[in-house]
Structure 1
Amino acid sequence: MHGIPKGLLFAIYYPIIATIGVPANFAVIVILCRSKCGLSRCIIYYLVSMAVTDLLLIISAVILNRITGIYFPFSYFSITPICSLRIAVIYAAIDSSAWLTVAFTFDRFVTICCSKVAAQYCRKKRTAWIIGTICMLSCLRNSFLYFIFEPLYIINNVGWFCRIKLTYYTSPAWAIYDWLLVILTPCFPFILILLLNALTIRHILAANRARKRFRTPNNGEKQSDTEMEKRRKSIVLLFAISGSFILLYTLYFMTIVYVRIVNVSYFTGSDVSETTFSLEEIGYMLQLSSSCVNPFIYAGTQSKFRMELKNGLTYPCSLIVKLFE
């Protein structure tokens, strides 16, 4: 970020994320809810729920927090109660998005690697129950964040902006809560997705070797494997979603853990604190950008999704043509 003023970078970057992310995730929700993409209902449930949480994250974290803070710093969204509520909603959306990605990865792991129990596990009601539980627990866990802030300024008996209370740093209970937040998100989701993907890849490689030996005839000619071809798109979708999550969350994961362990203070003015602050901000930027990446993954890996998207984009034009015929 050297050579470019940080404020200018943020003022350009976050509006771009909002401009791309809001319509992209809204389009995903509409297209997937039509159930014409050739995906199972369980996959659709996960992808729609992930799109909803990503849309909520863009609205709360990017539009109402970053963009509003840059362009309208003294709006009503900066009043302390609203500021506290906004932060709690942001972290609840981050939690939900991360753990829904874990749930989707685990669902695909069961389908690919545990075929005997897949039929019992991958059901619509169970998937809806898992999604609802994740969202409810995320909201409950982060609701306590509302109570850790106090006004930064008091103007005409009205509290403005948010400042963490000193008791949050000195109370053992709040210290435990803070570490639980870090462990539950992003540590556990990051580690679980890495582990599940590693196990899935190992199973796929072993299965491919076994199927090649079984299906290759004595004359050495290979036969087409329709079953593996049918599962290929699902596997590509899984690795694309979980891979982008790992890639975009890596710096966020590393800096947030480092800040907690080293107990870095940004108010010392040292080069170390300045560098850590810059890395953490870049980590937040990458992490927030993950909320608008999935729609492009769906368009790149699912031909039927691209077809539905194309039909949706061309429908208004065809409607106008018909009106003037």
Structure 2
Amino acid sequence: MLTTRFATSGLPSGNQFDAWRDWYDAVFETTTETGKRAGFEAANSNWIVGGLTVSQVDSAPVAVARSRSFVRRSPVDHWVVTLSDRSTSEVAAGDRRFRVPPGVPFLLSLGQDMAIRRTVGESRMQILLSRDTFAGSRQLLDSAVGIPLQGPRGALLADFLGMVRASVPTLTGEEASRLTGAVQSMLEACLGPSDRRVEGAGKPMAATLMERVRKAVARHLYSPSLGAAKLCREAATSRSQLYRLLEGQGGVAQYIQRRRLSESFAILCDTSHDFSIGRVAEMLCFADASGFSRAFRREFGVTPKEVRLAALSGLPPAPPSRDDSPAGRFRDCLRCS
């Protein structure tokens, strides 16, 4: 996987925008309303594998365009999927004009004239798709050009793109070689869902739904109402799908308990407070301190009291290592079964 990065931070403020414009001049005509003298802090990182490029951009407000004459001079015709974190994108694509709110992906073709304007500084990711590499998805991709991808499938795609962004810097060569297939199958499942396409995107879709579940559990870890019903609502998934997702974790209740036990371990290692063990158990919705202590010992091989005493002595034990990060789960879905 080839990695490139460009940033304007080390340049004189009066030269920053010109350098940024020159960085993109083969693909876009770039303008800014802030003025050159104000400086233009921006950075672009790219990860390229085969006919797929994952691009992360952090910049001041900017507008980019590909006029018809520019398209003739710059014969790049990749599809581009964009997801902005904070900025609304004002888009013109051919004869279409539309606004895309933050968090909603949209797809354009560099082979067509376009213009995108953003009025606030932002962080955005883009995935550029080579027409040769993604030729098998041409009809679906072309049909989605110039349409904000809203609704449940758009939200699922946005969550998947977030996992790609978090994961791609850490991928091994073998994992990166499978990234194109994962992206293609997920795009097909979200742009033109069918039983066949959803089944084909099984691994990346499961990783994305699992990330939704992880976030939902984290939000409600201290709530006694946390259970299967709440997770289904929060993760926008069915009960049967939730059970399948967490089957390898011992089930819904076991997964929630393990997350609560991990949280309790961190609390007991934190010497900035003096919560009693009973209070920690109560905070994390255990029925009583003795049941909490038994579950804690089964999970970690030590008692809550032993962890607290070790922390107070300056030698807190390390909990068992589990990669429950988005990047960890995404890498799992790229590995061979």
TM-score bin, normalised by smaller chain: under 0.3
Structure number with the bigger relative contact order (C-alpha 8 A, sep ≥ 6) is 1
Structure with the larger strand share = 2
State the TM-score, normalized to the length of structure 2. Answer: 0.21
Looking at secondary structure, tell me which structure has more helix per residue.
Answer: 1
Q: TM-score, normalised by structure 1?
A: 0.22
